[in-house]
Amino acid sequence: MNIYLITFQIASEDRRNNMVNLIKEHSSWARITDCTWCVKTEIGKASEIRDQLATKLGIQSDERIMVVNMTNSAWGSYNLPKNVADWLKE
Identify the residue with better confidence: 89 or 31: 31
Q: What is the pLDDT of residue 14?
A: 96
Amino acid at 50: R
Percent of the chain with pLDDT over 70: 100
Average pLDDT for 27-46: 95
Domain locations along the chain: 2-89
pLDDT in tens, 72-82: 988 889 999 99
Helix (H/G/I), strand (E/B), else coil: 42 = coil
Cα diameter, the chain: 36
* Residues with Cβ within 8 Å of residue 76, at least 6 apart in sequence: none
- In angstroms, the CA 63 to CA 83 distance is 29
Question: Per-residue confidence at 84, pLDDT binned at 50, 70, 90?
Answer: very high
Model pTM?
0.92
How is domain 2-89 classified at the architecture level of CATH? 2-Layer Sandwich (3.30)
Q: How far is CA 32 from CA 29, 45, 69, 88, in A?
A: 10, 21, 15, 10
